[in-house]
Chain A
Amino acid sequence: MFEIFGIPSTALFGQLLIGLINGSFYALLSLGLAVIFGMLNIINFAHGAQYMMGAFAAYLLLDWIGIGYWWALIVAPLLVGAVGVVIERTLLQWLYKLDHLYGLLLTFGLALIIEGLARNHYGSAGLPYTVPESLQGGRSLGFMFLPNYRAWVIAASLIVCLGTWFVIERTKLGSYLRAATENPVLVRAFGINVPLMITLTYGFGVALAAFAGVMAAPIYNVSPQMGSSLIIVVFAVVVIGGMGSIMGAIVTGFGLGVIEGLTKVFFPEASNTVVFIIMALVLLVRPAGLFGRRA
């Protein structure tokens, strides 16, 4: 045990770890927002609610039919993603011709509905979800104790984030996606089914949020309002990073999580607000965002 700037190392690294965990969720969610925004030109306000749906899906799968964490990690995002596809087909697709803001208002309404329904059924108190057996316990790294589950969350979200980046930036499918973002009419003229791509993109973005929700379930309790406070921070993350770049969203997400964690150690009063303060500073210095391109 040693001290850094008068702070015991275990406390410092502990908060750093929490920061990385939060950063994983920021990264996954802002990545989903960026992917959806790129294709649909809609800011998905329901993203937080869909993250919460992912956590609830995991809880209910276990509670109703005994499906455990590992299967839930696959099944819950698929289920919630399917709900996303239905939302896109029935509601969102009619809004593309209109101002972007209507998409924001619609998804805000959806978020209210989803959250309200969850609160009616399960109350505001959190429901516990236990860490899967294979990831219980942890190891001592000498300078700190690292719970296995938390290490897994950071690793898994890094893999998913980088995988998404790879698919979008380095594969043929991704190049179709990027082309359709730039000019959907032209891409359609080449015989590519752009509306289907848009639908699946929304489903994928929503599934990412649900995936984050499943991973969050054992760390935070499963509760109806777990998404709404998070999504506002993620909006700030998106403003800081700019939505033009996939890698930008990932880096900003993890980076801000770490900064938030460090703030908790050195200046706990500001830990809730530090992301917003950084957002204000970035707006002053680089209004387009750190990775954004000026429109």
Chain B
Amino acid sequence: MSNIGSYENRVKNFSWAIAEQELGYHEGDVINIGWYCSDRICQQGKGNKNALIWEGKGEDEKRTYTFNDIRILSNTMGQYLRKLGLTDGDRICLFMDKVPELYIGLVSILKIGAIAQPLFSAFGDESLLVRLENAGTRAIITQRKHASKVQKILEKLPNLQFIIVVDDDGRKPLKEREVSFHLDQAQRVEQFDVFPTKAESPSLLHYTSGTTGQPKGVKHVHYSLISQYLTGKWVLDLREDDIYWCTADPGWVTGTSYGIIAPWSLGITQCVMDAGFSADAWYSFIQRKKITMWYSAPTAIRSLMKAGDDVVRKYDLSCLRHLASVGEPLNAEAVVWSEKMFGKPFYDTYWQTETGSMMICNYPGMKVKPGSMGLPFPGLTAALLDPDTYEPIHETNKVGLIAFQPDWPARMRTYWNNEETFQKKFRNGWYLTGDRSTIDQDGYYWFIGRDDDVINTGGHLVSPFEVESALLEHPAVAESAVVAKPDEVNMEVVKAFVTLHKGFEANDEMELDIMNFIRKKLSPLAMPQEIEWMDKLPKTRSGKIMRRVLHAKEWGEEIGDISTLEND
């Protein structure tokens, strides 16, 4: 029997109070996610249970931490942060690979009441700058190898007081604003006063991309724990004896909501592999660690499919009990393939950085319709809205905007320093996801696509505006337009249409130079996988680039109304 049991019964009898009661929380109480993920589990007598089984890139890089270790080490790191003068409300960025300090660091930041701002460690200096600038970040916790990116932009960040390097080996002198902190060598702190955060105290700031403007800082609060805990229990079906593996990086929301908060608040042992992708390495990890619950992404699943069935057969993967997926729509072929290879389907889950927790899901025990997003989580009022009137559509199989009626505990509370954009996410009392789908006769949702130009590549959103702006900083680029291009593995990848300044030649060397320029400035995700040279870009008579014309061309779609297209 799964944790959720009957979906229908849960829908009928739902209340968020179920999670509040299980967590021992009452309205008005102190609620601190850091405490719930460490101290509380120890108080339940599970201090000696493994919390984190970690493997790094090298053969001998293996570490295991119990919940008591997490409690003490997060106290230790929290005390260090406090000694630096960091306090509640401060934004502290985590900019690291998937090393233990990232996971423990997040817990420690929450314990001092500060706001954790995790950023993907592959971000280039420009991506880093706009996010740190917007958040007014006071400290960044990072590794020596990433500190150089911070140093490059330091002059533009007057608020950034501390660059905390967790693996400095002392071979070179520390640079401006750098301090060294070794978690393994620090004096252990047994007793620690966890900051008394309340339900609406800010906890995390995750940055996400939109069509226009700079990335937006999605503000979450400690009360988000309620939905992250319950979805972890009912959707991921996490159980006491599970060995869980969430492959997401905590630089993105899945890696925090379901790579830290959900499993640890449930007292679940989780495994982390800090290495790149290889089918053999992944299957070997599952076999060696005896993973029972695996939460991954369609891009990874499609990459595994591409690696072939013979690789799967080399390993004993019978330990796997339940599989789930998130990031972009999971295609039907991947569901069918996983049933064939693992004896069970991947259960797709749909949610966003802004929703903070799972919203539309396939639940253990329910019939999976391959390719479908599933059904709304109990307690949520979901609908498809007419894109013109923002009124609910009641017909089946008609495309509409996916929307939810507030409120649920993990909903974002605002975009940092951008309340105006936040307010635009709500119409007629509905939260607009920006995604389109249909609903079938059984109430299952079927994803259609984005309602804007944002590119979903490998489950991560990339803003065409951000890439276009960065392209213009390349000395050869005169104009650019960036759109999504279909891709077999990543669903979409970035494609750029570029015109060059006079004197520059459009050739393969130039294409490579521009690709690398964007990769280093923004991130590998944002790097155009293809550049098409143009003599001129399609524009309206008022001079606005008509991205949709280029998008339609890439996707083989009807171009639509081009009456505003400028003539030669």
Instruction: Decide if A and B are genuine partners.
Output: no
